[in-house]
Each structure stands twice: as structure tokens, then as C-alpha cells.
Structure 1
Amino acid sequence: MRIVILGAGLAGITSAWECLRDGHEVTVLDRATAPADFTSRANAGLIAPGHAFAWASPSVPRIMLRSLWRNDQAIRYRPSVNPRQWRWLAQFLGQCTADNARTNTLRKTRLCQYSQSRLHTVAQETGFHYDRNTG
């Protein structure tokens, strides 16, 4: 299969590498002249499994409610008449229990750890260098 990857940042390069390893023909397109030279340079993307807390937690409904009148909340909610938004809201609020927050945080942490492991493997296999700070 021929695949085009848009963006030569960390996500694009690692996706391209995985596709190549699976035997696909891959082309990576980017507007920058070098890999990881645009968005990846300053996107504040942490590769930190310890920061994988679930956004849906018991405190979030109160934060969302306050965000209707204040702009300084970490999570902002702006209601609309769109029924899809109300469906999403019902599903999101259903996840805002302590048990769900704990379960979702553990799942997210495992996914982050796997992603971090894959990134290290791809970087070693390809020699792909990217700016990182381990401290």
C-alpha cells in the first residue's frame, strides 16, 4: 500500500517508520526543511506517562459549570444547541466518577508508557534525533 504522512514531526516520523516496517511504501510531506522543525519544536508535548491523568474526574463538572462565567478555568465549556454536544456532555459527565477516573488514568498511563517505549525504539532504530530534556 502507498501511504502519505502529513507532517515530519515525532508523530509523523514514527507513524511513517511503523508503516515502512509493515512493508508499505511511505512518503512524508512537511512544509519545514527538516524533520521535527515546526510544531514539534515548541508544542509543549510532554512524553511523560506520569502526567496521564484522566480529564473526566469528579471535580470537572464543577469546573465546567464555573467556566460558563469565568475564562480562567483549565477546562472550558461553551454550551450550544447542537444535540451532538449534549450527547457528548452526557457521556463525558458519566465518566466523571472516582472509579472511572482511576480506571481511565491507569489505561492512559499504560498507553503513554507503551508510546514512550515505541518512541525510544524508533529513535534507536532510525537514528532520529529530537530535542528532549529528561530532567
Structure 2
Amino acid sequence: MPTSTASQRRAEAKAEYDAFLAECPSRQLLERISDKWVALVLAALGGDGPRPGAASGDEPRPMRYSELSRRISGVSQKMLTQTLRSLERDGMVTRTVTPTVPVTVTYELTDLGCSLQGVMRGIKEWAEGHMAEVLTHRNGYDRRQSGAAD
């Protein structure tokens, strides 16, 4: 029986992933990355959008927890912490602790995270660019549904 390298085994496993199959582990990843907080954390770490004193479209850069919390309006401390931990576990984000007083913790996209961030940025921009059209369709649908109920 011929032996295969780790690279060959990964390629074989990759070819077997099919998110349409119930047992496929890629479904868990799809569930994780479809979360709104994941999309917003990736966008923030990727330099997406205006920040005080910065131009939009900046390159990815490390950010402290407090910066992320301020940038992502409405995220709770618990949810931001959970999101960052899950992204770190999946290899999308690195967490760096600097021994200062107080301790400084920064988060930064990995190469894997940067590759996903580009996709998520496109989805975010699509949502922002098409929201008015979606709202128009929602309103029309709701009017038709309320008229059908009468």
C-alpha cells in the first residue's frame, strides 16, 4: 500500500467536502462564517470602512478589543469575545498579548482570514448597495400579504 504525503491527504480530503451532504464538516464552517458578527469583525480587521483619522479601504491591521468594540456598534462584550475566540480557533485571527501595564491584546487577520475577508467585504458591500431595493420588495410583499388576509 503506497504511502501518501500530508499534502496529498489534505488534497484528497478537500475533494471529498460537499456542503450539500449532511455530515460534511464544511457545513459547520458555513454556519460560522454566515454569522453577522463574524462578517463585521472581518470587515473591521480588514480595514473596511471609515474610522476616525483613517481613510476607508485601509489595509488590514491589528486592532485592540476596545477598538473593535467601538467600531462594531451594537455588539455585546460576550458576543464579540465569542466571535473572536471562534475566529482564532478556526485560524482566521491571531491574538497577540503584549506584557504591558495593563496588558495589551491585539487581534489581526491571518492569511486565511484575509482570504475570507475579501469575500465577506463583497457581501457587506452588496448588502449596503442593495438595501433600498430589498426594502422596496419587502414593503410590496408585506402590502400584498396584508391585502390577501383581508
TM-score range, shorter chain: 0.3 to 0.5
Larger RCO of the pair (alpha carbons < 8 Å, separation 6+): 1
Larger gyration radius, structure 1 or structure 2: 2
Query: Normalising to structure 2: TM-score of the pair?
Result: 0.30
User: Which protein is richer in helix relative to its size?
Assistant: 2
